[in-house]
Structure 1
């Protein structure tokens, strides 16, 4: 294997973190801000890119890191290496409520395409890059723009998604339609396109947006029940309403009125 062979365990239910156990000399890479805690024998170093191509020169590493800027990620990543004599652990926390998904790339065809901001950490040797969407419809209306994250290699990678997670394995030709924001990740064989919601009333007044993401098998897809953008919109909407109580109750609304809300 090109990637380091790491052990892990995922701790927690809705607010999870992943604890990675490293043998001496093994390393893990993580996005800036994902670090939670580490044992005394773990050393950390900030690098350009993901450290998957150590033999590249400075310009190669700089260009590889620069491509990550197109997905809105940092130019730098952090490598955590076990510099001690026994097993050592380092932990990375999820940024919001949801689930951490372990992805064994050696069993997923060596490549996973996922939404921006979903990557959390991985074994050193895994490559984190960008995946351009070649179809204009997907680029303009797919919810993730022309660019998604691409994770390649033969090691373990961890992605995070909001709410509950549905994993669906599609047969050849089988189609799954999902909300564009609910798509978390898909294997390399999946055909990804955008479909307009049929019917003027449904499109304009259905409250579900104008487009579906259509995923055609064969392959595996992961779908989240609560995209962070949807959660943020609800929080922002509630804050603008002044924290009204008992939204579904007439008496609750009357109480808010009497309280001056």
Structure 2
């Protein structure tokens, strides 16, 4: 294996964190700010890119790898945690919002998984974190999640997080699934990903589900989340006090009419 062979344990239910066990000299990479806690003896280093051995060398190669990450909205830097002591040491990483954490063994997924740009949490050192351009322009302009997705390549363990419950679905050859664009977390490299127009104007404007669906077609594996963070944020924003006033209760029978009668309208 090119990647470090790490062991892990998931803790929690709806607010999970993953505890990584490192042997001496083993390392794990993570997004900046993902670390929750670590034991004494673990060294922390900030690096350009992901630190994978992908054939590039020197400062320019590292700069190119880091620059690609900017296109996905991520930081130029990643953090490497290495067991510099004797015996096994532990470092833990937490998801930034309520949901689930899943482990993906890239060696069992053909060496590559494509995921949404904000779902990567951490991985064994040696896993390459890059960008994946969608082939079809329609996917990028109408997918709702941007033209660029992340790709994880290598033969080690990677950890993804997503909102709500994560559902893993294995698609047979030719089997197609329509998914809300924000609910698609990740997929294996053989899955065909495209965007499909809802079709009916009435459904598009009054259905509440947007104009487009993501369509994924097998063979391959896809991971679906039940509560995208963008959807959660929209609901929180909609329920927040407007103009400095107090938010009305969800159970109010009068709703906006009550605000008008109280002089808030």
TM-score range relative to shorter protein? over 0.9
* Alignment of 1:184 onto 2:188: no
CA deviation digits over 1:123-143, x for unaligned, max 9? 000000000011011010112
> d(CA) in 1 for partners of 2:264 and 2:201?
40
* Counterpart residue number, 2:230: 229
Give 1:166 shift. 1.1
CA contact (8 A) 1:244 1:256 kept: no
Equivalent residues of 2:37, 2:92 under 8 A apart: yes
Taking only aligned residues, the RMSD between alpha carbons, in angstroms, comes to 1.9
Q: Contact 1:245–1:256 (CA<8 Å) still a contact in 2?
A: no
Q: What's the counterpart of residue 95 of structure 1?
A: 96
Aligned position for 2:15: 15
The number of aligned residues is 261
Q: Is the 8 A contact 1:103 1:158 kept in 2?
A: yes
Q: Map 1:238-257 onto structure 2 (within 5 A).
A: 238-241=239-242, 242-247=246-251, 249-250=253-254, 254=258
Report the CA distance between 1:117 and its aligned residue: 1.0
TM-superposed CA distance for 1:248, in Å, is 5.7
Q: Does residue 205 in structure 1 map to residue 206 in structure 2?
A: yes
Q: Judging changes above 3 Å, is the alpha-carbon distance between structure 1 residues 232 and 56 closer, same or farther for their aligned structure 2 residues?
A: same
TM-score, reference length from structure 2: 0.94
Give the TM-score normalised by the residue count of structure 1: 0.95
1:170 aligned onto 2:174: no
The ranges of structure 1 where at least 4 consecutive aligned residues each deviate by more than 6 angstroms after the TM superposition are none
Q: Which runs of 5+ in 1 are unaligned?
A: none
* Equivalence for 2:27: 27
2:174 and 2:217 in contact (8 A); partners too: yes
Q: What is the DSSP-based 3-state SS (H/G/I as helix, E as strand, rest coil) of the residue aligned with 2:182?
A: coil
The aligned residue for residue 46 of structure 1 is 46
Offset, 1:260: 7.0
